[in-house]
Structure 1
Amino acid sequence: MPSRRWAALPVLLVAVFVTTLDFFVANLAVPSIRADLRAGDAAVQFVVAGYGLAYAAGLITSGRLGDLYGHRRMFRAGLALFTLASAGCGLAGEAAWLVAARVAQGVAAALLAPQVLTLLGDLYRGADRATAFRWYGTAVGLAGVSGQVIGGVLVATDPLGLGWRACFLVNVPIGAAALAVTGRLLPRPLPSPPRPAAPPARRAGLDLGGAALVTAGLVAIVLPLIEGREQGWPPWAWWCLAASVPVLVAFVRRQRRAAASGWTPLLDLDVFADRAFAWGLVAVGLLFGTSAGLSFVLALYLQDGLGLGPLAAGAMCTALNAGFFAASLRPGRFGAPVLLLGLCLLYEVVARAAQPYQVALALLVVGAGMGLIMSPLLSSVLSAVRPARAGAAAGVLGTVQETGGVLGCTITGTVFFGALDGGDWRSATLAALSVLVAGALGVLAHAALRPRARTPLTATSGGRHDHRPDGVECRRP
């Protein structure tokens, strides 16, 4: 059985990789999509934004669906929908079709993400759990830093004459193969630790009103962050951001009333009771915001600033990938300082107008910092939560990842284009890198000041087991 559980890991990681990759892979295909489908500016923006919007807005509801109907079942449903939606993107004959398929992809990705996190926690215990989360962090990070590399290669090489469609159709055989083996390789989770019996009056079900409120609130945040900068921050963007506050307040109140009246809430707000989890979410948001902001700046600086083509720009980014992958094999406590050092080196290299190979060396250090910190951070955040709240925690964590990435791109892009008014690409890049350095400082502060996790305990016949923040299980008398 242990070997079967390890055989399930690649299936879960493939789902993580392709859904994270698709947040970035379409960026370099936008010019080709615009020309081929004769798409307008709004349609082209929503090819990228529609995916991220649906992804971020659906994660909390999807975590609850996994709790209700089984994380294994919801994983398979999400994987099937993602594969079909990818085929729809690749076969799109007009812009509206492509946008609709991208939104469906985002919904499917949202359905998949919390199930993967919960299944990893259920399938593995002790040191095995730490190893599984290390590979999860590696898959997420590699997909994030290599998205534009893969997109640039696919557009430049034009496999089978598919052009931009290859960026989406490549998911179809991967998804179909993963789906074919999921039923056989993905075993039933290990038995859950004993939980206190729910009161007889407790009623379980999907809180549709709560789902509508949290989705509307998240859309009201993410949509203006994605589209506001592109459109010059029109009044509707500010109205949306302002409206998100009362909507989310109403959602929180509804969840509290549901818990008090005997209904199972969509989101168990007690998940935030552990300071280590809540504090860790801040670091996750900063880390993913920094990563997404860096990808955004690199795409512009390498191509428009240094004049490199998509393939050459993608080749430069392989240094980031190499650093990440090498460091993620042995993550450690020095990730935040190395990340900060790498971004400072990159700032210095750009300031001195150095050669591209020097940029690549700085990116290697940045990638190493991300690889050192990614999986330990995600593992420590989830390990701070009791097993009974794993689904809720996974949905919240995924929402913070995606929203942090969108916010990072928005803030970095706003600073970049604000400094580009004079047409000085170097000054604009340095201004954006200053934002990323500030984000890395925030991650470093978290590493130094984070509170200790309140160890979740599970009863056993021979004593109790504590789960350390690194995922290692310790037996206590």
Structure 2
Amino acid sequence: MPTRRWAALPVLLVAVFVTTLDFFVANLAVPSIRADLRAGDAAVQFVVAGYGLAYAAGLITSGRLGDLYGHRRMFRAGLALFTLASAGCGLAGDAAWLVAARVAQGVAAALLAPQVLTLLGELYRGADRATAFRWYGTAVGLAGVSGQVIGGALVATDPLGLGWRACFLVNVPIGAAALAMAARLLPRPLPWPRAAPRPPRAGLDLVGTGLVTAGQVAIVLPLIEGREQGWPPWAWWCLAACGPVLAAFVRRQRRLAASGRTPLLDLGVFADRAFAWGLVAVALLFGTSAGLSFVLALYLQDGLGLDPLAAGAVCTALNAGFFAASLRPGRFGAPVLLLGLCLLYDVVARAAQPYQVAVALLVVGAGMGLIMSPLLSSVLSAVRPERAGATAGVLGTVQETGGVLGCTITGTVFFGTLDGGDWRSATLAALSVLVAGALGVLAHAVLRPRAPVTAPPEHRESARSQAPAELPVCPESA
């Protein structure tokens, strides 16, 4: 069984890699999509935004679905839907078809993400769990920093004459292979012991699902589309409505818990101060990463005049630094990240050459690689195992929302400063925002509260503990 557990890890990592990658990979294909499908501005924006919106809005509900119907089953369902939706994107005949398929991709990605986190927590123990989450952090980070590179390479090389469609069709063989391996390699949960009474299965809180989805859409949609449309009144109405809607969701969850029924989200996860503080650092880190990707795409191509392939080549330094550092993550990730962003600021201020930008990106990538997996692992280990589904859904939501906020704030500062085509000043202003985000991550690393040991003795594990020969008993159905 230990060998089988490790064989399952690549399947989980491939799934999280392609779903994270698809948030970024379409960016450089937008001009080709516009020309080929004769898409208007709104449709083109939703090709990118529709995926992120559906992804962010569905994560908390998907975490609960995994708790109800089995994380293995929901993982396979999400992977199958993602593969089919990718094929739909690649075969799209018009802009409306493509937008619908992208939304379906986002729903599938939301269904997958919490299950990956929960399955990692179930499959690995002690030092093995730390190793598994290190690889998870590496996969997420690499997908985030390499989306622009892969998208640019696919558009530039035009494999099989597919053009922009290759950005989506490449997921089909990968998803099909992962789905076939998941059926064989993901261990089935142990059956519920006959002598023990099976707990009743609570249903899905549909009212809570509607409230939390509406609240998340009210936050994410105006952040994605508001800047593009000049902050119209509807964007401000949405942002104003999100507070009351989410407050109603919280009241309902508390009422359900007080009456003995199972809420959609266990609000008790936020009682762990280490978890709550960790979420702030995750939002800052993913916002900084997404904001940097946004700024680089504009600065390298429009500011320095590089073509997509050359811009992607410069960005490979970010990937290389991340991958090399993520193999041995350590405690100095936040200072290295801050140093790298300050170095990048200095390079841009001196109007340096692209290779000098690459050197600065190498340091930035190293900082992200050093901090990513330890941060995610510490956040996930701060809560009790029985709250795994809720924890995974909340963490995924914070990652996605942090990325959207990072792009929105950085983009607003960038375009607000871009006066008369002064790309250097605009880039420096945006990098100042990212430096502030890195300072926040550093402050968390210094001041964060330590996770108390609140789990019962049978759940307390040291790094030296042996992984169990079988999976822990759980009431899931396969």
Matches within 5 A, 1:110-149: 110-149=110-149
The match for 1:83 is 83
Structure-2-length-normalised TM-score: 0.94
CA contact (8 A) 1:137 1:375 kept: yes
In the TM superposition, what is the alpha-carbon distance from 1:188 to its structure 2 partner?
2.6
Question: Residues 224-269 of structure 1: CA distance to partner in whole angstroms, max 9, x if unpaired?
Answer: 0000000000110000000000000000000000111121000000
Distance in 1 separating the partners of 2:245 and 2:352: 49
Distance in 1 separating the partners of 2:423 and 2:460: 58
CA contact (8 A) 2:68 2:201 kept: no
CA contact (8 A) 2:301 2:311 kept: yes
Question: Residues 391-432 of structure 1: CA distance to partner in whole angstroms, max 9, x if unpaired?
Answer: 000000000000000000000000000000221000000000
The match for 2:261 is 263
CA contact (8 A) 1:457 1:465 kept: no
Q: Using a 3 Å threshold, how does the CA distance of structure 1 residues 427 and 198 change in structure 2: closer, same or farther?
A: farther
Q: Using a 3 Å threshold, how does the CA distance of structure 1 residues 199 and 227 change in structure 2: closer, same or farther?
A: farther
> Which structure 2 segments of 5+ residues have no match?
465-475
SS at match of 2:461: strand
Q: Using a 3 Å threshold, how does the CA distance of structure 1 residues 308 and 256 change in structure 2: closer, same or farther?
A: same
In the TM superposition, what is the alpha-carbon distance from 1:164 to its structure 2 partner?
0.1
Question: Residues 165-185 of structure 1: CA distance to partner in whole angstroms, max 9, x if unpaired?
Answer: 000000000000000111111
Q: Using a 3 Å threshold, how does the CA distance of structure 1 residues 275 and 463 change in structure 2: closer, same or farther?
A: closer
Q: Using a 3 Å threshold, how does the CA distance of structure 1 residues 267 and 357 change in structure 2: closer, same or farther?
A: same
CA contact (8 A) 1:122 1:190 kept: no
Q: Using a 3 Å threshold, how does the CA distance of structure 1 residues 291 and 464 change in structure 2: closer, same or farther?
A: closer
Moved more, 385-394 or 458-467: 458-467
CA RMSD in angstroms, aligned pairs only: 3.3
Q: Using a 3 Å threshold, how does the CA distance of structure 1 residues 459 and 381 change in structure 2: closer, same or farther?
A: closer
The match for 1:458 is 454
CA contact (8 A) 1:24 1:148 kept: yes
In the TM superposition, what is the alpha-carbon distance from 1:459 to its structure 2 partner?
7.9
SS at match of 1:467: coil
In the TM superposition, what is the alpha-carbon distance from 1:460 to its structure 2 partner?
8.4
Structure 1 stretches of 4+ moved >2 Å: 188-192, 197-203, 456-468
Q: Using a 3 Å threshold, how does the CA distance of structure 1 residues 387 and 69 change in structure 2: closer, same or farther?
A: same
The match for 2:30 is 30
Question: Residues 66-108 of structure 1: CA distance to partner in whole angstroms, max 9, x if unpaired?
Answer: 0000000000000000000000000000000000000000000
CA contact (8 A) 2:384 2:455 kept: no
Distance in 2 separating the partners of 1:125 and 1:133: 11
Question: Residues 92-135 of structure 1: CA distance to partner in whole angstroms, max 9, x if unpaired?
Answer: 00000000000000000000000000000000000000000000
The match for 1:316 is 314
Q: Using a 3 Å threshold, how does the CA distance of structure 1 residues 166 and 462 change in structure 2: closer, same or farther?
A: closer
CA contact (8 A) 2:138 2:323 kept: yes
Q: Using a 3 Å threshold, how does the CA distance of structure 1 residues 200 and 115 change in structure 2: closer, same or farther?
A: closer
| Larger RCO (alpha carbons 8 Å, 6+ apart) | 2
Distance in 1 separating the partners of 2:75 and 2:421: 47
In the TM superposition, what is the alpha-carbon distance from 1:158 to its structure 2 partner?
0.2
Question: Residues 1-52 of structure 1: CA distance to partner in whole angstroms, max 9, x if unpaired?
Answer: 1011000000000000000000000000000000000000000000000000
SS at match of 1:458: coil
Moved more, 180-189 or 83-92: 180-189
CA contact (8 A) 1:202 1:263 kept: no
SS at match of 1:217: helix
Distance in 2 separating the partners of 1:458 and 1:168: 45
> Which structure 1 segments of 5+ residues have no match?
469-474
In the TM superposition, what is the alpha-carbon distance from 1:200 to its structure 2 partner?
11
The match for 2:418 is 420
In the TM superposition, what is the alpha-carbon distance from 1:465 to its structure 2 partner?
3.6
Distance in 1 separating the partners of 2:271 and 2:376: 18
Distance in 1 separating the partners of 2:82 and 2:462: 37
Q: How many residues align?
A: 467
